[in-house]
Amino acid sequence: MRLVLFGDGESPHLLKWARALAPRVELWAASSRGFLPGFDGVVPEARRLSLGTTPQFEGGNFGLLKLLPRLTEWLERVKADWIHAHYLTSHGTLAWLATRWLGAPGKLVGSAWGSDILVTPARGGLLRWVTSQVLKACELTTSDSEHMAWHMRALGATDVMTFPFGLEALPELPPSDRKLGHVFFANRGLEAVYAPQRVLQVFAAIAVEWPGSELVVANTGSLRPELERLADKAKLRERIKFVGRLDAAQQAAQYARARWYLSLPTSDSVAVSVLEAMAHGCIPILSDLPANHELVRHGENGLILPRGALPKLEDLQPLLKAKDAIAQANHDWVAQNAMFGPWVDRFLGRLQEIEASPGGRRSVVPAMADPPSVDLAAIAEAQRLDAEAKAMEAAAAALAADQASPAAIKLGPRK
């Protein structure tokens, strides 16, 4: 199978797709900008096209239209079986125009990334119409949440595969004694859409009741100076550590150390960082967005915070008591539902099925399982019984020791 991957070649997410696809297909790649160095070992330069532009991913990329003939000419030379466009309001639109209107060969498959479905179509009738036309032109589309898949179908998509943009490798679950119950970790971008001010607000509410609690804030963004000022104003500067952008090993070390993970964006699909945190045994505290309910049962394996709500220490305590069971359940759920490689295999299997039987019946792709379920009441009862048993054992040991002591030995009458 010859497949063209079309998107932003300077995005690590597109590179992740390339790493997954390269061993499985004859992979070619076209980028609206350039390519990250990591592409050099994945897609030969002779199989790549760099358009060298700066697309607006929210739509309105009319300046890109002048590059459409160049893209179309390259696609005509490649003669791909499939053109896999990522981000439908930019690259998806160009791929649709190249194939549908200029006759470039190849069937179209599209992957939605979030705001191209959840935000852009609501900005105007033209953008909604274009998004709808791209979805209808795709033989297959992919979504990383059921919530977004519903919106895609409402806009005209027919065959939607839903799977998380999951992990390439499953980390080992850190030992319980390595994780620190008082440590919170957050690593979303320090930009408005990720609401980092809300992260600080939530931690500040916890910090008032929990002396010694600590928040580690990773990543960078335009809001970092403001966040540092907020931490100073709240007199929490010594308990909130800004560590900047981390590499994969440094980030894994923070996941392994933290017991809690905070992610509170205003708009999101299933986030890879949340999956990473769950795989490392963190207890997630997430914003009240539909996609987050696909990962967390509130009060069982994490918390979902409604807009404006602040958690209390009493909300965290039942989860902390069941920390080991939650860590294992979250890790196991990721292992079974959110590993990227097996989902890519299913994705390619669906493409082969479409090639073999255009318009025919399609097999049913397994859906993600429901979020992990942890019975906190049963765990609490087991802990109570265990504590009672230990107390009885301690009392029996103390009694035996008392009876065996010299003071407890009765001396007989002197003769």
Residues 312, 212 within the same domain:
yes
Q: Are residues 302 and 242 in the same domain?
A: yes
The segments of the chain whose pLDDT lies below 70 read: 54-63, 359-369, 373, 375-389, 391-393, 395-415
Mapping DSSP to helix (H, G, I), strand (E, B) and coil, where does residue 318 land? helix
118-124 contacts: CB < 8 A, separation 24 or more?
A: 118/148, 118/151, 118/267, 118/269, 119/58, 119/267, 120/58, 120/59, 120/89, 121/155, 123/58, 123/59
CA separation for the pair 344, 366 (Å, rounded): 13
In a domain, 270, yes or no: yes
**Same domain membership, residue 311 and residue 194:** yes
370: in domain: no
Residue by residue, DSSP assigns 82-127 as: EEEEESIIIIIHHHHIIIIIS---SEEEEE--SHHHHTGGGG-HHH
Nearest partner of 264 among 209, 202, 204, judged by Cα: 202
Would you state the pLDDT for residue 362?
61
User: How many CB atoms neighbour CB 386 within 10 A?
Assistant: 10
DSSP state of 369: P
Q: CA-CA distance, 364 to 361, in Å (whole number)?
A: 9
Check which CATH number belongs to the domain holding 131 and give it: 3.40.50.2000
Structural domain that includes position 388:
382-408
User: What does the pLDDT look like over 330-356, one tens digit per residue?
Assistant: 999 999 999 999 999 999 999 999 999
Residues 257 and 113 in one domain: no
Task: List Cβ neighbours of 277 (8 Å cut-off, separation of 6 or more).
Answer: 185, 255, 258, 261, 263, 284
Predicted local confidence at residue 386, as pLDDT: 63
Q: What is the pLDDT of residues 291-334, one digit of tens each?
A: 999 999 999 999 999 999 999 999 999 999 999 999 999 999 99
Residue 185 lies in a domain: yes
Q: Hey, what are 228's tokens?
A: 């540092």
Please tell me whether residues 142 and 227 are part of one structural domain: no
Q: What percentage of the chain exceeds 70 in pLDDT? A: 85
DSSP, res 40 = G
Supply the pLDDT for residue 400: 63
Same domain, 222 and 97: no
Place of tokens 């300046």: 63
Q: Are 88 and 110 spatial neighbours (Cβ–Cβ below 8 Å)?
A: yes
- CA 342 to CA 145: how far, in whole Å? 17
pLDDT of residue 193: 87
137 and 190 together in one domain: no
**DSSP bridge pairs for 48:** 29
Q: For residue 58, what pLDDT is reported? A: 44
151 and 182: one domain?
no
Mark whether 106 and 226 lie in a shared domain. Answer: no
CA angle 333, 337, 339 (to 5 degrees): 110
Structural domains counted in the chain: 3
Give me the phi and psi of 90, to 5 degrees please: -120, -80
- pLDDT score of 57: 45
Residue 409 confidence (pLDDT): 44
Give one DSSP letter per residue of 230-274, joined into a string. HHHHTT-TTTEEEEE---HHHHHHHHHHEEEEEE--SS-SS-HHH
CA 352 from centroid of its chain's CA atoms = 28
Whether the Cβ atoms of residue 182 and residue 214 lie closer than 8 Å to each other: yes
Does the residue 295 lie in any domain? yes
Distance in angstroms between the alpha carbons of the first and the last residue of the chain: 105
Confidence (pLDDT) at 38? 95
For residue 32, is it within any domain? yes
